[in-house]
Amino acid sequence: MTEPTKRTMTLNLSDEEMSVLDSLAQQKDVTKTAVLRQALRLYQMVSVRRARGEKLVFENDETKEKAELMLL
């Protein structure tokens, strides 16, 4: 049974971007690679649903106020 192939990519990040990546990885107790893969999954999901005409909305837990997340 063949293993699915993994592809490698080199990523250039600014100091600030790397800092955010480090911080997220630490907060979420996962590797930096895992953070980026999560970001990819989320971005794909959001893109597909936006393409369907759905909106991404933040809701304030207490006030129940909703604010749309504007995405290009």
Partner 1 sequence: MSADVSPVFLVNGSTGELVAAELRDGIDELDLQHWEHNWRPYLVERVKEMQAQGVPREKWPQQLHWNWRYKARVAEMFLGQRGFAIRCEGMTQGLMLVGLVSDARIEEQRGKPLVYVDYLETAPWNQSSLQRPPKYRGVGSLLMNAAVSLSLEETFGGRTGLHALPQSETFYRKNCAMTDLGPDAAKQNLRYFEMTPDQAQAFLKGGK
Q: Which positions lie near partner 1, rule CB under 8 A?
A: 1-4, 27-31, 33-34, 37-38, 40-42, 44-45, 48
Q: Which is nearer to partner 1, 3 or 15 (CB)?
A: 3
As measured in angstroms, the least distance from the Cβ of 16 to partner 1 is 21
Using the minimum distance from each CB to partner 1, give the nearer residue, 3 or 68: 3
Q: How far is CA 38 from CA 2, 3, 14, 44, 65, in A?
A: 25, 22, 20, 10, 27
Q: Could you tell me which residues are beta bridge partners of residue 59?
A: 66
